[in-house]
Amino acid sequence: MENRKVRVRFAPSPTGPLHIGGVRTALYNYLLAKKMGGDFILRIEDTDQNRYIEAAEEHILDALEWCGMKIDEGPKTGGPYGPYRQSERKESYREFADQLIKSGHAYYAFDTSEELTEMRERLTAAKVAAPQYNAVTRETMKNSLTLSEDEVKKRIDEGEPYVIRIKIPRKEEVRFHDAIRGWVVVHTSQMDDKVLFKSDGMPTYHLANIVDDYKMKITHVIRGEEWLPSAPLHVLLYRYLGWEDVMPILAHLPLILKPDGNGKLSKRDGDRLGFPVFPLNWMDPKSGEQSHGYKERGYFPEAFVNMLAMLGWNPGTPQEIFTFDELVQAFSLERVGKSGSKFDPEKAKWYNQQYLRTRDDAELAEIFSKSLVEKEINVDFEYIKAVCSLIKEKTQFTNEFWDFGNYFFQKPSSYDEKVVSKRWNESAERFFPVLANALESLNNWKADELEGTFKSTAEDLEINPGQVMQLFRVLLSGQAGGPVLFEMTELLGKEEVISRLREGVEKLK
């Protein structure tokens, strides 16, 4: 086992869009694989044809690509262990179901759905808490354990529909080690005879999953906690198929919880609290309902990935910002927590803000100039760059730039009312015309000179600069807050500042 190349798989069922929990599962798989110099495989688990949604597979691929997870083997990429879509591997499963029947670990069952319902009702009436097809009840049902060999053969020859079920032993303990949870022990009396092969000729998830993990030489199965109850069954399948020595290491990830910690994070929480739960926009093909994605909300993929990585894993140090490479280096399953992590929408924004701040001004200006062009604003690229450099400190998303900093490109259309009603008075009316004149004769239009002139003008008029500072900002920008005041003044330029001041005084007096 030690010498095997690490191979992990992300195995989504294309029944809908990828939820951020799914992206995190993919990410932890990816990080582990890359850290160990291994392969990241995408396997599409589409054995449930009734729930298949075509657009979902594309959505999954796009989401992984946006996050920067490169698929080493998968349906589009190909690879030596393909095909990577279970529906295209249909033929490879039956022989293993047959092998299990031969070795006495599985059996045919002919029960109709009415008979199964009848069995459940009978057990419920007898006060059995969880009625199941299991070591006890199978004795009363129509299967190859209760029917004669001839009868079974006859039914099969006549084309009667049947399923193949695993024969769970009656009194055994199944033990396995989970890389996150430690030792897990389950008694077989708690397990049921799950269907491995369906009457439509398709394997169920359980059989297909085990066969594919074996054939694809998977070394680590990292998946959501909801699969933990299935793990004992999988362990038995590995044993009965004789593959125990190559059984992958199992790791079941804890849930991502609602912001208040009560239960699993769902799409409804996102709708209710106004944050996306999908990486990319998604339109439900049936209802036409649109859901937002992190990408379209304006998140940088690096920020999204960093935020997700920290949702359940911790590096053991206070460091919070990690590049993708740093995550790869730092990641280990040992540092994934056992309990669920609360999703914090504010923290997600905070991550984006951290990445926004470190972005190159030119790169941000490139993004911002697109929305300026749409507004038919044509200004020098260097000016846009300088604006970005000032406002990136104060914003969380590039799509907030216009709302936050439109006054760099047009005169304010109104003034913050609170500041005006609190601060505009006789001294202000005296101060600003004098300031405008003083600034007009200033030769060196630089932030510290501007600040000096502002203060000395106030002192000359015996006005406390603090009383007129915020008004100054409002006259220039209309807004009560913003970037560093005198740097903003410098960037707006002499002519514009003086004209805004004079216009403002006219309007307010």
Q: Is there a contact between 330 and 310 (Cβ–Cβ < 8 Å)?
A: no
Task: Tell me the C-alpha distance between 430 and 432, whole Å.
Answer: 6
Number of residues counted as binding ligand GLU (CB under 6 A): 8
204 binds ligand GLU (CB under 6 A): no
Q: Which of 90, 267, 347, 394 is catalytic?
A: 267
Q: Is there a contact between 254 and 341 (Cβ–Cβ < 8 Å)?
A: yes
How many CA within 13 A on the CB side of residue 147? 17
Treating both helix axes as pointing N-terminal to C-terminal, what angle do 465-477 and 426-440 enclose, rounded to 10 degrees? 70
Task: Tell me the C-alpha distance between 117 and 489, whole Å.
Answer: 77
In the bound state with ligand GLU, the residue whose beta carbon lies nearer, of 253 and 390, is 253
CB of 9 to ligand GLU, least distance (A): 7
The amino acid at residue 427 is: S
In the bound state with ligand GLU, the residue whose beta carbon lies nearer, of 220 and 258, is 220
* Chain centroid offset of residue 279 CA: 5
Of the candidates 53, 160, 178, 227, which one interacts with ligand GLU according to CB under 6 A? 227
CB of 12 to ligand GLU, least distance (A): 5
Beta-bridge mates of residue 8: 40, 220
Of the candidates 134, 204, 209, 306, which one interacts with ligand GLU according to CB under 6 A? 209
CB of 261 to ligand GLU, least distance (A): 23
> Quick one: DSSP state of residue 336?
B
The residues, ordered by sequence, that sit 6+ positions from 295 with a Cβ below 8 Å of its Cβ are 66, 279, 280, 281, 301, 304
Would you call 397 helix, strand, or coil by DSSP?
coil
User: 85-117 burial, b if ≥16 CB within 10 A, otherwise e?
Assistant: bbeebeeebbebbeebbeeebbbbbbbeeeeee
In the bound state with ligand GLU, the residue whose beta carbon lies nearer, of 227 and 243, is 227
What does DSSP say about strands 220-224 and 249-253: parallel, antiparallel, or unpaired?
Answer: parallel
CB of 93 to ligand GLU, least distance (A): 15
In the bound state with ligand GLU, the residue whose beta carbon lies nearer, of 181 and 430, is 181
> Quick one: DSSP state of residue 185?
E
CB of 221 to ligand GLU, least distance (A): 6
In the bound state with ligand GLU, the residue whose beta carbon lies nearer, of 13 and 144, is 13
Helix, strand, coil % (nearest 5) of the chain?
Answer: 50, 10, 35
CB of 47 to ligand GLU, least distance (A): 9
In the bound state with ligand GLU, the residue whose beta carbon lies nearer, of 119 and 191, is 191
The residue range among 5-13, 241-249, 302-310, 327-335 that interacts with ligand GLU, by the rule CB under 6 A, is: 5-13
CB of 205 to ligand GLU, least distance (A): 6
CB of 115 to ligand GLU, least distance (A): 29
Binding mask 395-424 for ligand GLU (x = CB under 6 A): ------------------------------
DSSP 26-56: HHHHHHHHHHTT-EEEE-B----GGG--HHH
In the bound state with ligand GLU, the residue whose beta carbon lies nearer, of 45 and 73, is 45
In the bound state with ligand GLU, the residue whose beta carbon lies nearer, of 228 and 390, is 228
Q: Is there a contact between 447 and 489 (Cβ–Cβ < 8 Å)?
A: yes
The residues, ordered by sequence, that sit 6+ positions from 319 with a Cβ below 8 Å of its Cβ are none
The amino acid at residue 326 is: E
Name the residue among 406, 415, 409, 437 with its Cα closest to residue 493.
Answer: 409
Task: Tell me the C-alpha distance between 418 and 473, whole Å.
Answer: 13
CB of 123 to ligand GLU, least distance (A): 29
Look up tokens 């030489």; give the residue. 217
CB of 92 to ligand GLU, least distance (A): 17
Of the candidates 165, 167, 206, 223, which one interacts with ligand GLU according to CB under 6 A? 223
Active site residue 154: no
Please list every residue from 39 through 98 that binds ligand GLU, using CB under 6 A. Answer: 45
In the bound state with ligand GLU, the residue whose beta carbon lies nearer, of 144 and 209, is 209
In the bound state with ligand GLU, the residue whose beta carbon lies nearer, of 105 and 252, is 252
Please list every residue from 7 through 36 that binds ligand GLU, using CB under 6 A. Answer: 11-13
Distances (CA, A) of 398 to 187, 333, 366, 368: 55, 34, 11, 7
Contacts for 223-228: CB closer than 8 Å, 24+ residues apart: 223/11, 223/25, 223/251, 223/252, 223/253, 224/21, 224/22, 224/25, 224/252, 224/253, 224/255, 225/252, 225/253, 225/254, 225/255, 227/252, 228/178, 228/181, 228/184, 228/252
Q: Please give the structure tokens belonging to residue 425.
A: 């008075």
Chain positions contacting ligand GLU, by CB under 6 A: 11-13, 45, 205, 209, 223, 227
Q: Catalytic residue positions?
A: 267
